[in-house]
Chain A
Amino acid sequence: MKRNTTLLVLAATLFVTVIAGVAIGPVWIAPQKIVAILTNLVFPTNHTWSEAEAIIVYQIRLPRTFMALLVGSGLAVAGVAMQALFKNPLADPYVLGASSGAGFGAALIISFGLVSAVFVPPAAFAGAIFATFTVYALSMIGPKSSVSLLLLSGIALSTLFSALISFLMFLSGENLHQLVFWLMGGLWASRWEYVEITFPVVLVGTVIVYAYARDLNLMLSGEESAQHLGVAVESLKKILLVTVSFIVGVAVAFCGIIGFVGLIVPHVVRTFTGPDHKALIPASALFGGILLIWADIIARSAIPGSEVPVGIITALLGAPFFMYLVRSRRKNIF
């Protein structure tokens, strides 16, 4: 499939998915009503819907669907960047301890009972960036960072932060439930304020990663080869690590830890775009959004009257699918 056709198909699918994300739920809202409600925001028309329906669409499902879209896109793009940067098919946005760093920052705030859009995101950013740069510093050998040290340090730091998060949960008492639920990853708390913060972070992050698409292609032939072809390897690493930290920080801050999206989406998308990052990055952004919106639809419809954290859904669906992918396409993946 030609690159533009692929992107067009994905964009159309995303549009349908967004409508579905708003339509499906405990109360079904017909797509034409959704379109009418949204059109009404710009061109007021006759009400063909109830006030309750308007509130469900506008105040609940739309911000939630947008959050799923943004977080899914962001994690997928971050995953693409990490896999290329570390030349490792197992790399994902969380591999460098960014997620558990962000998780710890956010958990610290939540365990003090300060659940708000004002405090949690900065704490999560701070945690993500602190973790990423600690890992980066630990991996330095002379003027260069070693990829295997980077991954090992990432695992060590993740474990440390996970232990600290568990410790906070142990201490948190009445905030425990909230903390546990948040860590499992979910989109139920989504509000327009969250979207307003997440949107620019993910958009700018994706644009930055896309700007380095050519360099990421070169990185796939090895760090030294990339440098011989003119890539400033260490500064590329720093720029992308900061970018990924921001994306992960904002995602974790609002939605907890949603696993597997950043790992699988790049692999799935590569099977139809090939490894060229100029196609892979935009396609992954679209596909990541589609995937997380559907996962969230399942999360809120699977058990009537209740809601499963979306992180559980992505892992439940993602892990077996990933195993299938690894077995059936092992030659193309590795």
Chain B
Amino acid sequence: MRIMIRELQTDVLVIGGGIAGAFAAYKARQSGARVLLVDRSYFGRSGCSALASGVYPSYMPGDKEEDWVQGLGAGPLVNQRLLVKSLPVMYEHLMTMDRWGVKWLKEGQHIARMGAPGRTFKNGAWMTEGGPQMMMGVRAGVLQSGVEVLNRMAVTELLTSDGNLPTEGEIIGAIGFHVRTGDIYVIQAKATIMCTGPYKFPYPWPGSTLGYMPIDLSGDGIAMMLRAGAQLSRLELGGINLNPDYLLCAPGLEALMPSGAKYVNKDGRRFLEDYDPKRMEMTSRALLYFAIAHQKEMGNIPSMDLRTIPSERLELLRKVIPIILSNFEGLGLDVSREPVPYSYQVAGTAGIFGAGARITDRGETTLRGLYAAGVCSDLAYLPGGHLSFCSVTGHWAGEAAGQYASRTEATRLVARQVEAAIAAIEAPLKRTDGLNYEPVHRGLGELLMRTVGLVLHADRLNEALEKLFEIRADQVSRLKARDYHELAKVWGLWQYCQVLEATLRAYLYRTESRVAFIREDFPVIDNINWVRMVVVERQDETLKLWDEPIPESFHLVPVRPTQHLHLVFRERISSHALG
């Protein structure tokens, strides 16, 4: 195979075309920069934003800031001050998207406010035709602003001014390949913004033919930033990947729960009363997902009862969250007759609540020339992976990157780094006697399913790390690719293995439990010793981890210095689960 090498130049390179990348590109373009957005799939259809749960939480004029802080930002690891600063930006985005043709549920002329799990007040705008329509509207607006797009481009490495990884210089672009033509693109950029979303690794759970990682959610951007020397944080708090029983994707709980859907177990009991008797199904998103997966692990067959939802609301939901209801119909389940089994199960390590590059409130990483936004970053400790916080961090990163590019000259690429990166891209294609992708991926998934679950323990995490090193050295590095599509998967798995090592190390480092991060060996939520962030940085060939205090400036509501047992370990639940 003869590979074509194409060289491109731009002011700002945006990697990833979800809502963070879209707003990053738009804001950078508004600053006058030439902007190129590259996407491993298709801008407007890739990743998580297009499959969003139909809800964009947004501030509106007249809202009380303290409602937002209490309702969404109450955790001690939340930058509450930044949350307040993000509020008007969310509203600006809501109005921008409305102008771009995104269809919102309205009451008269005004966008309606809807409730959602974990909120003390109604703050969600609903998309009347779901995430797919939202992202196509966003795509249209971004393209109209003059952003250039290159689809099906899998970026493999960041390029640095000194040619080294990790670098002591700055980030000056990126390199990758087209997943259909195989052409290699060498992109020189004054500023680069990483917006590659979360990493989700579905385990091959017993009895399922599912369990293959979609090629667009392997944490590539996070791995590239780590290799380049950027500090990462929040890896341990990014959440556990929970998949619905039947599918690799099907969001929707954010719209179903406030519509009146109830969760029951096989005995018809509403099990949320064991977890959060006050808020029940309207508990926090993290706890809701956890409770469902937890019941599933205990064999209680969590089912969703939609019969209490009024029929006109159900009709609306068919448009707001079409995927989930199409699933039920596709499975021959009649939601109007009986509760339908719908459970989330532990399906992997994940960064869905924001886990990745440590960023400032301007989207700056710890490397010059490199910015990050959305859930491949730590979201600057905004409350989590909602669409709004992804778009807002994209906005900040786009503005800052545009300004940086305007006062920066293009830096010459280092030939030996480009040559090495091209050789690395091609290697799996040339490895004709290499290993096949499927069994290696499955083997890694089975290891993780056994060792990393909803409830973590140092012994199992250490075993996972040890085996990960073996699998990475003996198998992943020997994978072959029979075509460019498979090459993207091989690269995804290789990148994922690096993010996984950093994540497992961060899991081990935080010796407490907190929300959906649960350590059997450290069952206490520790607001005395652990109001801290864990930072991971690659130094030469090893990862270095340390912790830093969450700055007091984050908090508008003082943190109470308490220690208490995570509710999972309280008697009522643990007698079922862990005994």
A and B part of one assembly? no
Contacts from A to B (Cβ < 8 Å): none
Contacts from B to A (Cβ < 8 Å): none
